[in-house]
Structure 1
């Protein structure tokens, strides 16, 4: 093809048709430019298609990741519900100061002295963000949701850190000094412990202001955690819905 165009140019020059030569040369340049633009357009289209497919693949994986986290959150929330119930029951017993309730107190006090952590990880979501694929999202609502996800993740970490500090500095030291832990440990831990040792003075314990406040503060922390978990589950479900809309409306 190049040889063909060269012969035409040589023929025009040899015939002295300079004006037509220049017109032809300009036309040839225009054709080359158009060809380059078409090639670039095809390349950009192909690149965008690959990026779009990659974005969709990641969004599907993120959706699965969030669904898995929702299951974990619901299981954790079940534990919170049990702890909240037992902590409220402990407070009612302490409020009544009824010695007849001591056997029940021994059965449920373990949840006041126990702490469960919750750490969420989002490896697929983090990969998605690190590759700046968020910029390919069309939905402003979904873009905003990913920003809020960071806030929720930080709130969970902050809640965990607070609960750990509360347990380490307040709850555990009290039980170490005032209670024979092997007597009140929850079943999950109790099977591996050895029963015996000094007896707990439960008659004094049910009148303890310190235990009352420890249980009250623990209940406050549990209530806050439950609210965060429920909000997070609702939020994750919203993100999954937005992801489905993004995928179905390319």
Structure 2
């Protein structure tokens, strides 16, 4: 009886050990599957972000060029400011006003970024760079908003007294469009270049454009760094 009991105990212990081993193996397989699914989801998220950031890079490169162009036109106007009447042709002045006669907002997409899958990215450097990128984007958006507000509240309202927007529109790539035509009023836009108040307005406007340009360049640099990190991560997977 003692011999049978001893065998039974050994058999029961063996069964328990086998069950425990089976449970551990099942847990291991389950963890492996979960990690595998998590890695697949992480790769999909990085791939989507990679595509979005590349699209944003193209948009920012275009914005950078256009804003820089506007700054150069603004600088050309500032060089003509002074008490003496400018010798520029009226059409040239109207063209310059047309080039600076709007504000520029970069169309930056954050749909994938705001989807909530950033936390599954295991690379902490990518997460840190994206966080910094988001902060720089907010700086740019704030600068764009202030630029637009200043333009509509100050520049446009002031120029309404000195120039004809019909002539400006007509001289800004609209000559072949029948909706645009020269004004019937005889206004010399060069007179505004002799006004001290406008000189101060253009000074503020110029530096507003310059700051927006700098924010755009900074965001573009951050974008390129994030793209490089994500490319390295995708190459490893």
TM-score clears 0.5? yes
Please give the alpha-carbon distance, in whole angstroms, between the structure 2 residues aligned to 1:211 and 1:189. 26
More helix per residue: 1 or 2? Answer: 1
**CA 1:96 to 1:81, structure 2 compared with 1: closer, same or farther past 3 Å?**
farther
C-alpha deviation, 1:36, in angstroms? 1.0
Partner of 2:107: 119
| CA deviation map 1:151-200 (0-9, x unaligned) | 02211221121112112211221122332111223625674333224332
Partner of 1:49: 36
1:175 to 130, 135, 159: 159
Please give the alpha-carbon distance, in whole angstroms, between the structure 1 residues aligned to 2:28 and 2:185. 82
C-alpha deviation, 1:144, in angstroms? 0.7
**Residue pair 2:46, 2:121 contacting (<8 A) in 1 also:** no
Does 1:160 find its partner at 2:144? yes
**Residue pair 1:80, 1:222 contacting (<8 A) in 2 also:** yes
Aligned-pair RMSD on alpha carbons? 2.2
Partner of 2:206: 219
Partner of 2:79: 92
Number of paired residues?
233
Please give the alpha-carbon distance, in whole angstroms, between the structure 2 residues aligned to 1:71 and 1:174. 35
1:76 to 54, 63, 85: 63
1:63 to 41, 46, 50: 50
Partner of 2:25: 38
Which secondary structure does the structure 2 equivalent of 1:100 belong to?
A: coil
C-alpha deviation, 1:30, in angstroms? 1.9
**Residue pair 1:102, 1:202 contacting (<8 A) in 2 also:** no
Q: Which runs of 5+ in 1 are unaligned?
A: 1-13
**Residue pair 2:98, 2:168 contacting (<8 A) in 1 also:** yes
Does 1:187 find its partner at 2:175? no
Does 1:137 find its partner at 2:132? no
* TM-score (norm: length of structure 1): 0.84
Which secondary structure does the structure 1 equivalent of 2:39 belong to?
A: helix
Partner of 2:183: 196
Q: Which runs of 5+ in 2 are unaligned?
A: none
Please give the alpha-carbon distance, in whole angstroms, between the structure 2 residues aligned to 1:151 and 1:208. 39
Partner of 1:20: 7
